[in-house]
Structure formats: structure tokens, C-alpha cells
Amino acid sequence: MKISMLKSVLKFTMKKLLWGLYLLLILILSGCQSFGLDYFGFSGEALFSDDFSQPSSGWRRDSDEHGSADYVDGYYQIAVNDAEYQVWSSPNLIFADAVIEVDAIKAAGNDNNLYGITCRMQHSQNFYAFLVSADGYYGIYKHQENKFQLLGQNGMSPSEAISQGNAVNHLRADCVGNTLTFYVNGQKVAETQDDQFTNGDIGLIAGALSAPGVVIQFDNFAVFKP
């Protein structure tokens, strides 16, 4: 009798446990689904998105003595091994006008660094770059003929919108017509105009300045139609 009752109790307990796990799984999955593109600050038509959970999603995967770019633990990670050096990557997708968003965090290295979004990349060399540093500075750059030129500013400017150190920053770059607009954590920090590049690839970039060993991790990348 006691054995029979014990079996019944165990059976009932297992059913409750399995049902609880099932409900938990449903909640987790629904949470993942609702995260989707609703997470982003821009609500236009989505043209491309990537959470970097699949290493086959099309981004560059390589490394050399200067740095690396690859999928790591559900992030897209760019590591820069040399001082005064930059590494960038793209998924080989061409857009003219686009709104681009991503989460980025400094995973290692000196706060005196650069990281952010690129747009209208021409032949993997000429592009616009929307950059912040882990010590709280921002700027919009044009990269042409192997040189970076700051647009609309005499130097990178500080902003309280930027979370410093090893904190996540949500970056948004609007490349629309000849107007380039930069948002950090939902706050507009810069806007400028340039007519040089009208379309091209989009991507991510990280750089070391005075000290090598910078590692930046990116997540929740999305491109929207303006």
C-alpha cells in the first residue's frame, strides 16, 4: 500500500515537474520571439538581422598577427593585436540608404579604443564609420585611400550618452542620402553630410589606439529601410 501510494505521488510529482518545465520552455521561447526586431529603436522594414548565433551567417572569419574577426560564444568578436590598428568586417550585403543598429561591448583591452558601425563600404576599403570609444568619445569618419578623416568635428567629442568601460553600448548609424546620423543608447550625438559614397556594404569595426589588445564583442545586429 505504501509502495503504491509512493509510486502515485512520484508519478504526480513528475507530471507537475514536466509540466512546469514545459511552461518554462514556452515562456523562454516566447520571450526570445518577442525580443526579435522589437528590441531595436528603429521600427522600419527590416532588411537584415543577425544575432551571431550561427557562424554560417556570412561574416568574415579569419585572423593574422594583427588581429582577428570571428564568431565567439554567440557574439561577433573583433580583436586588435597592434596599437594604432583597425580591423573591420562585413556580411557582403549592398545597401544605399540604411539604418543600422548593434549592441557592442569592450570585452578586453584599454578604454582608449574605437569601435562601431560601417556603411557604404566600397571594395572593402572606402567607407563611413560611426565610432565610439570605451572612455566616452564619439565621431563619424570617412575612410578613403587608407586614411581616416573625421567628418563635422575637429576631434572626437565626449558624450554622457556613452557607457564607459566594460559596458554595453547600443549604436545606431543612419546612412540616408548624403546625411550621416549617429545615435548612442538612443541619444543623437552627431550628424553630418558627405556625398562621396552613395551605396555599399555594411559592417562592424574595432581599433586600438595607444595600446594593443583591444577586444570588442557585437550582438543583435540589424539593418532597416529608412
Residues 108 and 201 in one domain: yes
Query: Domain range for residue 9?
Result: 2-35
Residues 28 and 57 in one domain: no
- Asked if 183 and 41 touch (Cβ cutoff 8 Å), the reply is yes
Residues 63 and 17 in one domain: no
Transcribe 112-172 into DSSP letters. Answer: SEEEEEEEEEETTTEEEEEEE-TTSEEEEEEEETTEEEEES-SS-EE-TTSPPSS--EEEE
Residues 23 and 57 in one domain: no
Q: What is the pLDDT at residue 123?
A: 87
Residues in the chain: 226
The domain that holds 136 is classified in CATH as: 2.60.120.560
Residues 185 and 88 in one domain: yes
> How many domains would you assign to the chain?
2
Residues 174 and 103 in one domain: yes
Place of cell 541619444: 187
| Residue 126: C-alpha distances to residues 68, 104, 119, 175, 198 (Å) | 20, 22, 9, 15, 11
Residues 133 and 213 in one domain: yes
Q: What is the pLDDT at residue 35?
A: 36
Residues 9 and 110 in one domain: no
Residues 29 and 49 in one domain: no
Residues 24 and 59 in one domain: no
Range in 24-28, 65-69, 74-78, 87-91 with the lowest mean pLDDT: 24-28
Regarding pTM above 0.85, the answer is no
Residues 164 and 80 in one domain: yes
- Asked if 67 and 87 touch (Cβ cutoff 8 Å), the reply is yes
Residues 104 and 83 in one domain: yes
pLDDT (tens digit, 9 = 90+) per residue, 12-69?
A: 334 334 434 433 333 333 333 333 566 676 777 899 999 999 999 999 999 999 999 9
